[in-house]
Amino acid sequence: MTDYWREARDARTDDPNRPGFRISHVETDDGGFLFVPDELLVSGAAADLLPVLQGPEYIELTDTSPGLSATTVRWFSYGGPVPLLDHVAALQADARGAAPAAGVDPDACRVTPHYVMSGEPWIYKGGPFDQVRPAEPWSSGPLPVPLSAPHVAVLDTGIPIETPGGGMARLRVDPEEDVDRLWPPGQDGPSFGAEAGHGAFIAGLVNRMTSSQAGIVALRVLDTDGYGTEVMVVDGLHRLRAAHPTIGVINLSLGTRTDGLAPIGLTEAIEAWPTSTVFVAAAGNCGVTDLPYWPAAIGRVVAVAAIGWNGGSPEPAPFSNTGDWVDLCTDGVSVLSIHSFGRVPIDSASFDLIEGWVRWSGTSFAAPIVAAEIARRMVERNIGAGAALRSLLADLPDASAVSPALRGFGRLYDPRQSVGIDPTSP
């Protein structure tokens, strides 16, 4: 399989003229992380203790981000001689060292790189586990897109111009800004970027799993290569609050590893939402246990792992992250949903033709199945998202009680039993 994500990362690192922001990386034994070169985020507590940030080596960018400006976190570019990650560590140590004398909690003093979120990072699997595979359509064909007030928001790559049935275009919050651009164009139609169609696939899955009962909206916070900065996701949440402040469920099939702690900007942006809104996020596809993946591991976020099925019995998806921070698990192997129309390169001489329907695997696609079930309960029982989530958790068995192999997968949700729909079947 062509490693599109590594190629996209390498191109952005090596070619400053490539569209989109540049990406740097750190490799560690547990996978590492991606970040924007020469940019950092500083918690409000740390910024107050670091007068050096007023110096000529720094340019503050906070005002350029509506979402970040609504938090206490500040955003800077850095032009000094010390390598960014070394400098970030030194700034955080300085702030924490000064905290006790100022009566500030040292743990509140954080300085981080500007993390890059992704649906599919190059060093670990974050969103989809593999590339799309052409597939047969659902037997019912495209489902109608409901015109009701939205219940679920999909913050992802946006929605392409063309999808089966054409109705998905109506889901965009902004008809121009939230388009999945399917970059770059090819001579014989679009040659999909690394993660083109990811948002449409998720929105289509929510639509199918709720039998078109739930309203859906989509915002673009990842580019077609599958990358989005922490600030891009924060700004997406800010735009969503302006458009739909009472939405019930927000699906985030994206994420990152960090230095071990939650990203500060994204955490504040999520915590700013009322508790009546439920966040659902992919647990990530690193295939590891007890190493948190963000935002799924943030306390108020529902973290969803992926399973497959073997002769009617659930079994772990080998790529899925697990741990005591995972809340639920459901289908994430060979899931079927909509995409767009174009081609996916297999190698330099051949390609797969996509005609609107694909199969895809990853925790990215387990998360919206859970988001859809919360929304379905909201509609059918006329209850809020929080009550719907509580009722769902109360109804589900511990996955490890069903199979000892599912230890660390949280509770098991099988949509075949709940709604009679198999997300892997036409």
124 belongs to a structural domain? no
Q: Which two tokens stand for residue 283?
A: 């647990």
Cβ-contact 25, 9 below 8 angstroms: yes
Cβ-contact 212, 143 below 8 angstroms: yes
2 belongs to a structural domain? no
When the pLDDT of each residue in the chain is averaged and rounded to a whole number, the result is: 90
Show which residues are catalytic. 156, 198, 364
| Domain edge (last residue) among 114, 143, 168 | 114
Total residue length of the chain? 426
CATH number at residue 403: 3.40.50.200
Q: Which one, of 404, 416, 12, lies nearest residue 183 by Cα?
A: 12
In the chain, how many domains are there?
2
Q: What is the pLDDT of residues 3-30, one digit of tens each?
A: 555 565 566 655 555 557 888 888 776 6
Q: What is the pLDDT confidence band of residue 126, given thresholds at 50, 70 and 90?
A: very low
Domain containing residue 226: 133-418
SS3 379: helix
Residues in contact with 224: Cβ distance below 8 Å, sequence separation at least 6, in sequence order: 157, 180, 181, 182, 183, 192, 193, 194, 195, 196
165 belongs to a structural domain? yes
Q: What is the pLDDT confidence band of residue 425, given thresholds at 50, 70 and 90?
A: very high
* DSSP category for residue 97: H
Query: DSSP per residue over 99-124, as a string?
Result: HHHHT--GGG--EEEEEEEESS-SSS
Do strands 33-42 and 249-252 pair parallel, antiparallel, or not at all (unpaired)? unpaired
Query: Is the pLDDT reported for residue 337 higher than 60?
Result: yes
| Domain edge (last residue) among 52, 87, 114 | 114
Query: DSSP per residue over 149-160, as a string?
Result: PEEEEEEEB-B-
Q: Examine the domain organization and report whether 34 and 165 are in the same domain.
A: no
Query: Is the pLDDT reported for residue 192 higher than 90?
Result: no
Q: What is the pLDDT of residues 68-122, one digit of tens each?
A: 999 999 999 999 999 999 999 999 999 999 999 999 999 999 999 999 998 754 4
264 belongs to a structural domain? yes
Q: What is the pLDDT confidence band of residue 186, given thresholds at 50, 70 and 90?
A: low
φ, ψ for residue 223, nearest 5 deg: -85, 180
6 belongs to a structural domain? no
